[in-house]
Structure 1
Amino acid sequence: MLLGGELTAAGAPHCTRRRFLNVSTGQCVQVQIPELHDHGVLRSSTEGLLLLVATGGAVRLLNPLTRQAAELPPITGLDFTHAHIGQVSPNNAGLVDDGRRVVLYDYGREEGSILAFAKPGDERWVLVKATNDLLRHTVSFAGRFYGVTLDSVMVVDTTAGGGEDAKLAMAAKLATPIRQMMNDTAHLVEIAGKLMLVHRKMRCVRGAGGEYNDFKRTCKLYRVNLATGKATPAAARGRAIFVGRRRSLAVSPQVFPSLSTNTVYAARDFDVPGSGREICTYHLRDGGTETFNCHESSLLPHPWSIADCLTAYVRG
């Protein structure tokens, strides 16, 4: 589900006409979603489904194209304090157990993170006990829910005790730990049926005068090998990879010819509120970088490019 043109965040949540993009074919359709009259979009999952919440906390999982819906327990029993119409919390959502359960994840609170799951027909959400590790980026992959800590890729294990004893378990060790002080970020993404990780780094470099007054950004791509528990260097297989705070996405430049192959796209907001953003690219093969679509106004020119649309989508 995209934003763009007249479908800006300012029109949400009561604008019921939304635009959806098929990233495999490039086809774009507009869909009326009557539920948005009295529901907010709690989160759009990586599977293309919408997680909607009503004012009283009732939660509905909706396929916006087929109109199929499933009712989930209300979130009133969880401490998602920002979850109401017009807000976007929790931080991420996905499907596990071959699509039978929905997982919600929320972080950035003093008392720690919340990770909960439920399936249609349940009376309440089940909290995952081991939530001390902050998951910096999460994704649903092959029926399971994964997240990244400072040194590992973690998975939500829902197999024990019918899910009541769900816990976080290590799925793979990172090749290089994330260094918070250096503004490192890690992003999980599916490429050609494989779970991959993009590790973005920013390091101080010496300027012409010998002082550390400049920054260099680099990206490395790893395959998360779930069989060996290791993350090993990998190729992007000709994809364009969009990374953001809430989700990441790999698309084929054969479908979107304006995009570059084997390239990581990321948006950066300017320091001054309302001054717009720029899209930074990193070419994985030669380490080259570019900055484009620099907007001096928060009102972006229309129509948006596909790079604008996808960077806005992954940022959530």
Structure 2
Amino acid sequence: MAGTSGAQISSRRAANRPRALPDPRRPCPSSNIRSHAQSAGRKRKYSVAIDVDPVRDWANIGDGPAGLIAELALASDVADYVRFRAVCGPWRRCSPDPCAGGLDGRFLPRKWIMLDKALAGPRRHRFLNVSTGECIRMDPPELAEHTLLALTPEGLLLLLVEPTLVVRLLNPLTRQLTDLPPVTALLRPGQHRSRQCGSQIGQTINVTGVGLVADASMVAVNFSDPRGLVVAKPGNESWTIVDKEYMNSVLPFAGRFYCANYRGVMVLTTSLDQQPPRLRLVADRSDSFDFSRMADSLHLVDNGGELMLVHRELSLDGEYARSYDAYRVDLEAGVLAPAKGFNGRAVFMGMCRSISVPAEAGYPSVAADTIYLGHDCDPQIQGYNIADGSRCSLIEAVCPRSIVDCLRCCIQGVGK
């Protein structure tokens, strides 16, 4: 489990240094078309081959070919699509504007996560593609104008406007901002008093999970302070409270929103007949294992398209130590099936977030079937192999940081 150097954080498929993604609102000059086109296509595996002629007028290749290239770039990655549109005006005119409005699922940066907030500078943030290992640098000015509440599994950032308490979702790659209702009605009396005294409310609000529901038409947010699972659509005037029970973990998966607590795994149900959203139990925990509401916790994981649950348990056999068991969530049978592996993947797990990455091929320093733990989840060990129960002890911090260190840091949540 030896860590890689900081220069290798983006893996063998990407450049050693994170590249800056073009600002989608600030197009490149047409004189740079050739160099930007080459940069946008570097190390990409498109299904069409283009014989690049250095003297050809690439800005005027026609809407048909340019539109096809745009579709292929978007199918590959929204970051490639942003690079494509940044080349010139004719290429932008033949491709839909990702900032045209709404939470369009085509433009969600689902493969991207924001890494550390401080190491790259006050307004320089690194984003990692968990599928390929590519690392890019972004400087979204919106982060300086809002309070960052949480990161979503779709790659979006949940932000708060302090003066109005309006919540927003930011797509960091396209710079699309989506307004959601204010949290004013959800606040505790103490938070209202703090606001009246001029305190920053964003520092007192704690979000433990957020995601999109029903083809990105609805947003679900799980607050631990003020407590409550709430939903809203863009344009709504207020949030709808679904449940006020404590949730160990929440996760958007396959277009639906799942929650886990002492009862087991539940799904958020919505209907077309104006019935309020509610939670429905889909896998009872009591049929599979005992659970201490005081000492244990449950963690939902999207393991490369498979919904899994990790039981974090406090063992009392002679010493206080954590153990971890994994289960596959069988939604058809409604059961939790024990698992001894992650199908060649590894899971980075904090108290509120979990990320699954491909081991070995994409991340040479990451071991398969291993849970790498955030400091908020287990300060004693770095990793736990669920196949044999072996533990990997913490190693002395080194600089530059390894990919394991960076991912263990970023899953701890905002401000941790």
Same fold (TM over 0.5): yes
1:231 shift after superposition:
0.5
Higher helix share: 2
Counterpart selection for 1:215 from 320, 323, 328:
320
Match of 1:225 in 2: 330
- Whole-Å Cα distance in 2 between the matches of residues 251 and 73 of structure 1? 33
Counterpart selection for 1:67 from 175, 179, 193:
175
- Per-residue CA deviation, residues 40-65 of structure 1 (Å, 9 max, x unaligned), is 11211111001111112122211100
- Whole-Å Cα distance in 2 between the matches of residues 238 and 270 of structure 1? 23
Structure 1 59/147 Cα, relative in aligned 2: closer, same or farther at 3 Å? same
Give SS of 1:199's match.
Answer: strand
Instruction: Verify: 1:308 aligned to 2:405, yes or no.
Output: yes
Match of 1:290 in 2: 392
Match of 2:314 in 1: 202
Give SS of 1:180's match.
Answer: coil
- Whole-Å Cα distance in 1 between the matches of residues 172 and 410 of structure 2? 17
Q: Match of 2:210, as an amino acid?
A: A
Counterpart selection for 2:343 from 216, 219, 237:
237
Any residues of structure 2 matched to 1:12-161 within 5 Å, and which? 15-55=122-162, 56-79=164-187, 81=191, 84-86=201-203, 89-107=206-224, 113-128=227-242, 130-131=243-244, 133-159=245-271, 161=273
Structure 1 6/86 Cα, relative in aligned 2: closer, same or farther at 3 Å? farther
Q: What TM-score, normalized by structure 2, do the two folds share?
A: 0.64
- Whole-Å Cα distance in 1 between the matches of residues 251 and 323 of structure 2? 23
Structure whose CA Rg is larger: 2
- Per-residue CA deviation, residues 233-277 of structure 1 (Å, 9 max, x unaligned), is 123101111111111111111211101111111133699xxxxx5
Instruction: Verify: 1:179 aligned to 2:296, yes or no.
Output: no
Q: Do 1:73 and 1:125's aligned partners in 2 also have CA atoms closer than 8 Å?
A: yes
- Whole-Å Cα distance in 1 between the matches of residues 324 and 409 of structure 2? 20
- Whole-Å Cα distance in 2 between the matches of residues 125 and 269 of structure 1? 29
Q: What TM-score, normalized by structure 1, do the two folds share?
A: 0.83
Match of 1:209 in 2: none
Q: Do 2:347 and 2:354's aligned partners in 1 also have CA atoms closer than 8 Å?
A: yes
1:278 shift after superposition:
5.3
Structure 1 runs not aligned, ≥5 long: 206-211, 272-276, 296-300
Q: Do 2:342 and 2:369's aligned partners in 1 also have CA atoms closer than 8 Å?
A: yes
Structure 1 180/73 Cα, relative in aligned 2: closer, same or farther at 3 Å? closer
Structure 2 runs not aligned, ≥5 long: 1-113, 195-199
- Whole-Å Cα distance in 2 between the matches of residues 262 and 199 of structure 1? 15
Q: Match of 1:42, as an amino acid?
A: L
Structure 1 78/216 Cα, relative in aligned 2: closer, same or farther at 3 Å? closer
1:69 shift after superposition:
2.0
Structure 1 85/149 Cα, relative in aligned 2: closer, same or farther at 3 Å? closer
Stretch deviating more after TM superposition (283-292 or 251-260) = 283-292
Structure 1 17/85 Cα, relative in aligned 2: closer, same or farther at 3 Å? farther
- Whole-Å Cα distance in 1 between the matches of residues 213 and 282 of structure 2? 15
Query: Number of matched residues?
Result: 286
Q: Do 1:39 and 1:85's aligned partners in 2 also have CA atoms closer than 8 Å?
A: no
Higher RCO (CA-CA < 8 Å; seq separation 6+): 2
Q: Match of 1:146, as an amino acid?
A: Y
Q: Match of 1:102, as an amino acid?
A: V
Q: Match of 1:57, as an amino acid?
A: L
Structure 1 92/79 Cα, relative in aligned 2: closer, same or farther at 3 Å? same
- Whole-Å Cα distance in 1 between the matches of residues 269 and 377 of structure 2? 39
1:85 shift after superposition:
4.3
Counterpart selection for 2:383 from 278, 281, 287:
281
Q: Match of 1:79, as an amino acid?
A: L
Give SS of 2:320's match.
Answer: strand
Higher strand share: 1
Q: Do 1:4 and 1:304's aligned partners in 2 also have CA atoms closer than 8 Å?
A: no
Give SS of 2:411's match.
Answer: helix
Give SS of 2:389's match.
Answer: coil
1:293 shift after superposition:
2.8
C-alpha RMSD over aligned residues: 2.4
- Whole-Å Cα distance in 2 between the matches of residues 270 and 176 of structure 1? 20
Instruction: Verify: 1:259 aligned to 2:361, yes or no.
Output: no
- Whole-Å Cα distance in 1 between the matches of residues 160 and 336 of structure 2? 37
Q: Do 1:5 and 1:302's aligned partners in 2 also have CA atoms closer than 8 Å?
A: no
Q: Match of 1:309, as an amino acid?
A: C
Match of 1:298 in 2: none
1:192 shift after superposition:
2.7
Structure 1 101/233 Cα, relative in aligned 2: closer, same or farther at 3 Å? same
1:305 shift after superposition:
1.3
Give SS of 2:268's match.
Answer: strand
Query: What fraction of aligned residue pairs are identical, expressed as a percent?
Result: 38
